[in-house]
Structure 1
Amino acid sequence: MRRHITPIAFGWVDDDTSVAPGWDRAQVERLARRLGYCIVWRDVHSALPVAEQARNTGADVVILPAPDHLGPLELNRVMDVADVETVLPRLSFARWSPVKTGR
Structure 2
Amino acid sequence: MRPQPAAIGFLRHDVSGEQQQWDEAQIQHLARRLGYDLCRTLILGPDTDRPLVRVRTMVSRTEADAIIIPNLDHFGGRIPDEIVRIADVITVSPENTYARWAIPPVE
Report the TM range for the smaller structure's normalisation. Answer: 0.7 to 0.9
Q: Of residues 4, 7, 13 in structure 2, which corresponds to 1:6?
A: 4
Q: Does 1:61 align with 2:66?
A: yes
Distance 1:85 1:56 in 2: 19
Greater fraction of residues in strand? 2
TM-score by length of 2: 0.77
Q: CA deviation at 1:49?
A: 2.4
TM-score by length of 1: 0.80
Determine the structure 1 residue equivalent to 2:100: 95
RMSD over aligned Cα atoms? 2.5
Greater fraction of residues in helix? 2
Identity %: 34
Which moves more between the two structures, 74-83 or 91-100? 91-100
Which is higher, the Rg of structure 1 or of structure 2?
1
Aligned length: 100
Gaps of 5+ in 1: none
Q: CA deviation at 1:96?
A: 3.0
Structure 2 residue identity aligned to 1:67:
L
